[in-house]
Amino acid sequence: MSDYDRQQLAAQSWNGFCERLKEAGAQLLREDFPIGETDLAEGLRYLAHLLFASIQRNLDGADPAKPFLYLLCDERIKSGGDNPDNRYYVAAVSDAYEYLVTADFSGCSYYSIVALDRREMTTGLTADERAKRAAATRMDSDTLVCEHDGTVQVHLSKAKAGRNHIRIDERTNLIIIRCTIEKPGQGPVAVSLRRIDSQGPGPALTLEVVAQRLRSAAEHVLQTSSFFGGWTANFQSHVNQLPLADQAYIHSTGGDPNILYYLSAWAVREGEALVIHLPEVPRCTAWNFQLCNVWMESLDYTEARIHLNGMTARSDRDGGVTIIVSGEDPKHANWLNTMGHATGTMCMRFTGAARPAVPQTSLTGIAAARELVGRLK
């Protein structure tokens, strides 16, 4: 290939990347769920943040020969009903190499390490593909064995190695480390990933490789925004209810099989309050409830209280839990602030639950919500 041809290929790759990105803007024109002015502003920001995260994932962190652990979500980068209580560490891996994860999970209520095919994150798998991945490689806080110093070391490779081993195969290209931290103010998790094989450095960077990674980055923005936009659209059939989601499907998209997921949409006008009542909280490792916008980004938990968990929620006298969702403070200990949003999505999780919870929901006036303070323990 001549220098001129290489220049043409590079320019065409960039133009194709930009053109594919433009298609993600169609999410802002959806008519299958309510989109207000605040939602549009957040939608533009959401797409920009998705691009930032996608470049980190598909360009900077795409080389399994140089493993790079990055945060899937944080206080700014959000998608898919990101859990404010969770830290999600992600890295590209390949069965051509061997890896060692070292972590101190001492501040976590729950943690897990899952190896998967990255398609699972934004498309889900067919029934046949799920069957082939039935022995999906994962370990969690119930199965991982700690070292004498309290840290955890996990080997990732094709062949068995070490007492904590996760098998990776030709389809594995991603690992996710989930860490649930319920205690407010808890510091970051100390976690690292490094190669321990003797394969040497990976292939040199080429024009073709970078062009492909750029295509993947644009595709990820388009697929992710469309995928979760579809979820919000589906939630419109049970607004202000909180049904148990299709667990098999959620798990096929990378959800943790130890977690029960409840997903829905909410709509609360001025002067109204959505009351969510758990008559009983099932015995579990951890649980939480959160508010998200229509793009399934958690609301800004650095500015207002938008989620509760087993450590922060105050119980009712009868042992249940009542949560109030509204734009106006009802003077209830479990009030969650809609932060100027009229509609959005919501998610409840129960980790390691002995049985499913049965959330009861009702839309009421703010005055009636204030009277629920009397239920508190």
Report the 3 state secondary structure along the chain. CCHHHHHHHHHHHHHHHHHHHHHHHHHHHCCCCCCCHHHHHHHHHHHHHHHHHHHHHHHHCCCCCCCCCEECCCCCCCCCCCCCCEEEEEEECCCCCCEEEEEECCCCCEEEEEEECHHHHCCCCCHHHHHHCCCCCEEECCCCCECCCCCEEEEEECCCCCCCEEECCCCCCEEEEEEECCCCCCCCCEEEEEECCCCCCCCCCCHHHHHHHHHHHHHHHHHHHHHHHHHHHHHHHHCCCCCECCHHHHHHCCCCCCEEEEEEEEECCCCEEEEEEECCCCCCCEEEEEEECCCCCECCCCCCCCEEECCCCCCECCCCEEEEEECCCCCCCCEEECCCCCEEEEEEEEECCCCCCCCEEEEEEHHHHHHHHHHEC
According to DSSP, the β-strands at 152-157 and 165-167 are parallel
Among 122-126, 128-132, 147-151, 348-352, top mean pLDDT goes to 348-352
Q: Which domains occur in the chain, in start order?
A: 52-224 (2.60.120), 229-375 (2.60.120.1600)
The residue written with tokens 């970078």 in the block is 210
Is pLDDT larger for residue 253 or for residue 38? Answer: 38
Express each pLDDT in 63-74 by its tens digit: 999 999 999 999
Q: How confident is the model at residue 298 (pLDDT cuts 50, 70, 90)?
A: very high
Give me the mean pLDDT over the 108-123 stretch: 79
* pTM: predicted TM-score of the whole model, two decimal places: 0.91
Please report, rounded to a whole number, the percentage of residues in the chain having pLDDT higher than 70: 95
Q: What is the pLDDT of residue 120?
A: 56
Give me the mean pLDDT over the 7-11 stretch: 95
Is pLDDT larger for residue 271 or for residue 131? Answer: 271
Give me the mean pLDDT over the 236-258 stretch: 91
Q: What is the pLDDT of residue 123?
A: 58
d(CA 277, CA 19): 47
- Quick count: other Cβ atoms within 10 Å of Cβ 166? 23
β-bridge mates for residue 324, sequence order: 275, 335
Indicate if the pLDDT at residue 127 is higher than 70.
no
Q: Please report, as a single letter, which amino acid is at residue 44.
A: L
Is pLDDT larger for residue 160 or for residue 313? Answer: 313
Q: What is the pLDDT of residue 119?
A: 64
Q: What is the pLDDT of residue 125?
A: 60
**Which 3-state string (H, E, C) describes 46-63?**
HHHHHHHHHHHHHHHCCC
Q: ∠ CA 149-154-158 to the nearest 5 degrees?
A: 155
Report which of 363, 338, 358 is spatially closest to residue 242, judged by C-alpha positions: 358
Q: What is the pLDDT of residue 161?
A: 83
Q: What is the pLDDT of residue 122?
A: 54
Q: What is the pLDDT of residue 162?
A: 82
Indicate if the pLDDT at residue 134 is higher than 50.
no
Indicate if the pLDDT at residue 133 is higher than 60.
no
d(CA 199, CA 143): 30
Q: Please report, as a single letter, which amino acid is at residue 305.
A: R
Express each pLDDT in 334-358 by its tens digit: 999 999 999 999 999 999 999 999 9
Express each pLDDT in 172-196 by its tens digit: 999 999 999 998 877 789 999 999 9
R_g of the chain, CA atoms, integer Å: 22
Q: What is the pLDDT of residue 117?
A: 79
Q: How confident is the model at residue 121 (pLDDT cuts 50, 70, 90)?
A: low
Give me the mean pLDDT over the 22-42 stretch: 97
Express each pLDDT in 189-236 by its tens digit: 999 999 999 999 988 999 999 999 999 999 999 999 999 999 999 999
The residue written with tokens 């639950």 in the block is 353
Give me the mean pLDDT over the 266-288 stretch: 97
